[in-house]
Amino acid sequence: MKVLSIALNTFRENLRDKLLYNLLIFALLMIGSSILISKLTLGDFDRLMIDIGLASINFFGVLIAIFIGIGLVSKEIDKKTIYTIVSKPVARYQFLLGKYLGLTMTLFVNTTVMVIGLVLVLSARNIPVDMLLFKAVALIFVEFMVITAVAMLFSTFTSTTLSAIFTLAVFVIGHLTPDLKTFGEKMDEVGRMMMDGLYYVLPNLERFNLKGQVIHHLEIANADLALIILYGLTYTAFVLFTAGVIFQRRDFR
């Protein structure tokens, strides 16, 4: 119950954040502009529109997750609003969890709005929308959850600027993890161990990317889908747990 009230309060706080609306408007503009691009190109424009649409949802969602995520906790400490909450019988991990769930709610609403935008654009061009598109969006959302948790983890022990840089790095490298292994094989012993370490520690974000499948109408088995979601949630839980351990030991000053 305490976690839920903190989450709802965070959700309300997010909804009054101008950054959120700016990013949302950009995302919708991108999705909408794919109509124009598709008119300029010959041939296979429905692929292009789906590609641009999903990529916009992914990109702007991640930006929201990072830039609101890094401020979730650090802003409360800077402005000392956390003092009145942690001095009540609220455990620190409950506070962290509440903030996390609040932003997850915000992201859910945002994703929904962006998907509605995409579906409207697609149907305006008479492009069929199938179930696979929604599966792809579901996985993109799981990626948001992972990224939000990572942003939160960094913000429990570094400044907001560093948190933003680190989280962006995790996002970029996380999409290249298979390459890390191949890259490491070409290096010496130490380099290989480091690349292997990164490969196992960083989230394998390419797993959440179904854009190729959607464009080429390649069905994905439900069992595989469930497994990927399970992977994402487990990774998130692990990151949040680590954040909780660090947060528990912190001085608020």
Partner 1 sequence: MADSDFVVQTEKLCKTFRVGFWGKKVTAVDLLSLEVRRGEVFGFLGPNGAGKTTTLKMLMGLIYPTSGTASIFGHQIGSPDAKGKLGFLPESPYFYDYLTGGEFLRFYGHLFNLWGAALEKRVDELLDTVGMTHAKDLQLRKFSKGMLQRVGIAQALINDPELVVLDEPMSGLDPIGRKEVRDLILRLRESGKTVMFSSHILHDAELLCDRVAMIMKGKLVACGHVSELIAGGTTNEVEMVIDRLLPEALEQISSLASKVVLQGERVMVVLTSQQDVDLALDVIRSAKAKLVALTPHKASLEDLFIREAKGAPPAVEARVA
Applying CB under 8 A, the residues found at the interface with partner 1 are 1-2, 5-6, 9, 12-13, 16, 79-91, 249, 251-253
CB 163, CB 252: distance < 8 Å: no
Q: How far is the CB of 22 from partner 1 (least distance, A)?
A: 17
Q: Of the two residues 111 and 156, which places its CB atom closer to partner 1 in the complex?
A: 156
Q: How far is the CB of 238 from partner 1 (least distance, A)?
A: 25
Q: Of the two residues 14 and 236, which places its CB atom closer to partner 1 in the complex?
A: 14
Q: Of the two residues 125 and 250, which places its CB atom closer to partner 1 in the complex?
A: 250
**HEC-encoded secondary structure of the chain:** CHHHHHHHHHHHHHHCCHHHHHHHHHHHHHHHHHHHHHHHCCCCHHHHHHHHHHHHHHHHHHHHHHHHHHHHHHHHHHCCHHHHHHCCCCCHHHHHHHHHHHHHHHHHHHHHHHHHHHHHHHHHCCCCCCHHHHHHHHHHHHHHHHHHHHHHHHHCCCCHHHHHHHHHHHHHHHCCHHHHHHHHHCCCHHHHHHHHHHHHHCCCHHHHCCHHHHHCCCCCCHHHHHHHHHHHHHHHHHHHHHHHHHHHHCCCC
Q: Of the two residues 238 and 252, which places its CB atom closer to partner 1 in the complex?
A: 252
Q: How far is the CB of 90 from partner 1 (least distance, A)?
A: 6
Query: Tokens 């149907």 appear where?
Result: 123
Q: How far is the CB of 157 from partner 1 (least distance, A)?
A: 15
Q: How far is the CB of 56 from partner 1 (least distance, A)?
A: 28
Q: How far is the CB of 86 from partner 1 (least distance, A)?
A: 6
Q: Of the two residues 12 and 39, which places its CB atom closer to partner 1 in the complex?
A: 12
Q: Of the two residues 92 and 181, which places its CB atom closer to partner 1 in the complex?
A: 92
